[in-house]
Amino acid sequence: MMLTFSARTFLFRALRHLLLMAGALVFLAPFIWMVLTSLKPVDEVFTRELTLLPTRLALVENYTEALTRVPLLRYLWNGLLVCTAILVLQIVVLLPAAYAFAKLQFRGKTWAWRLVLLALMIPHQATAIPTYVMLHHLGMLNTLSALIVPFSISAFGIFLMRQFFRTVPDDLVHAARLDGMSEFELVWRVMLPTAVPALFAFAIFSVVWHWNDYFWPLLVISSPELATPPLGTMFFRNEEAGINYGPLMAGTVLITAPLLLLFIAAQKRFIEGVTLTGVKG
């Protein structure tokens, strides 16, 4: 059977939408189900027949219980605090370091750079045991600092920024020195403004990573009031123990919301930042 060109295009378009829509539905189903369940009262969660929409809206009671049963706002606040502190410390360390590697000559530079590259390849779970033992001896276990300090130096951030700073013309650096700027001034007032887009991508990478991290908080935090959102989710789940999914789903909505909103608000930047994980490994 011969089809005209436009008919074939139409068929292809319809097939494309059919496949992608079906896929998108599967990928979004957990989110849709999470939100719908967070609106259902307990007797509508465990039913023999599948019901999609809640017949009685339990929005207020589920979300109230999610916020009062465990200190959910406290978890979110801890998450914000930890992520901000890590990011600020990382930037304070990585900008001067990246500048030194890109624009300065000093003894041992080649070897120091090799060490950075080596550190880049080591996954953070691999150093968990020695870091844990060190924090134990320092008496820092079960503090917010235990969540922040081990991540304050990012080899990946230094690597990324050094690659970026190498593209900044040397003339700019020379001119700033001729104007009498000190090296530190130069880093913050000349290099930093040129690096904003790259730094933004790194910031997203760092925040997404540490907001979602579960392994490390699980090891070093035992007090519920110090929990980050992922660890708090587990406290909440163990508390509910499969009895009432409505409030539990309300809790997961509140915990996933910040990053999802950030993603939807700044999609291009967000994807840029997250795909950096691909390079980092």
Partner 1 sequence: MPNSGATRCSASRLPTLLYLVLVTAGAVAIGLGTALLIESDTQLRGFYRTAFFMPVASTLIAMAVVWQFLLHPSAGLVNHMLQWVGLQPQDWLNNRRLALYSLAAIGVWQMAGLAMVLFLAGLKSIPQDVRDAAALDGVTHPWERFRRITWPLLGPTTLFVVTVCAIRALQVFDTVHVLTRGGPNKSTEVLLHTIYAEGFGFFRMGYASAMTVVFIAGIFFLTQVQHSAMERKTHYA
Instruction: Scan residues 131-150 and list those touching partner 1 (CB under 8 A).
Output: 132-133
Q: Which residues contact 9 (CB under 8 A, 6 or more apart)?
A: none
Which one, of 99, 109, 280, lies nearest residue 184 by Cα?
99
* DSSP type of residue 281: -
Q: Which stretch binds partner 1 (CB under 8 A): 64-72, 98-106, 163-171, 269-277?
A: 269-277
Shorter beta-carbon distance to partner 1: residue 29 or 175: 29
Q: Which stretch binds partner 1 (CB under 8 A): 63-71, 174-182, 189-197, 273-281?
A: 273-281
Size of site (CB under 8 A) for partner 1? 64
Give residue for tokens 């708090």. 232
Q: Does 281 bind partner 1 (CB under 8 A)?
A: yes
Q: Does 115 bind partner 1 (CB under 8 A)?
A: no
Q: Does 121 bind partner 1 (CB under 8 A)?
A: yes
Q: Which residues contact 68 (CB under 8 A, 6 or more apart)?
A: none
Q: Does 13 bind partner 1 (CB under 8 A)?
A: yes
Least separation, in Å, of the C-beta of 169 and partner 1? 23
Q: Which residues contact 228 (CB under 8 A, 6 or more apart)?
A: 75, 78, 79, 82, 147, 211, 213, 217, 221
Q: Which stretch binds partner 1 (CB under 8 A): 81-89, 91-99, 107-115, 223-231?
A: 223-231
Other Cβ atoms closer than 10 A to 76:
18
Residue from 131, 154, 206, 252 in contact with partner 1 (CB under 8 A): 252
Residue 151 to residue 50: CA distance in whole angstroms: 46
Shorter beta-carbon distance to partner 1: residue 136 or 177: 136
Shorter beta-carbon distance to partner 1: residue 19 or 92: 19
Q: Does 222 bind partner 1 (CB under 8 A)?
A: no
- Rounded to 10°, the helix 109-121/72-103 angle is 150
Q: Does 10 bind partner 1 (CB under 8 A)?
A: no
Return left, alpha or beta for 116; rule: phi > 0 is left, psi -120 to 50 is alpha, else beta: alpha
Binding mask 17-36 for partner 1 (x = CB under 8 A): x-xx--xx-xxxxxx-xx--
**Do the beta carbons of residue 56 and residue 73 sit within 8 Å?**
no
Which one, of 147, 168, 118, 151, lies nearest residue 227 by Cα?
147
Residue 187 to residue 208: CA distance in whole angstroms: 26
Shorter beta-carbon distance to partner 1: residue 99 or 270: 270
Q: Which stretch binds partner 1 (CB under 8 A): 62-70, 108-116, 143-151, 263-271?
A: 263-271
Residue from 73, 196, 234, 243 in contact with partner 1 (CB under 8 A): 234
Return left, alpha or beta for 142; rule: phi > 0 is left, psi -120 to 50 is alpha, else beta: left
Q: Which residues contribute to the site for partner 1 (CB under 8 A)?
A: 12-13, 16-17, 19-20, 23-24, 26-31, 33-34, 37, 45-47, 50, 121-123, 125-126, 128-129, 132-133, 208, 211-212, 214-215, 218-219, 229-231, 233-234, 237, 242, 245, 248-249, 251-252, 255-256, 259-260, 262-264, 267, 270-271, 274-275, 277-278, 281
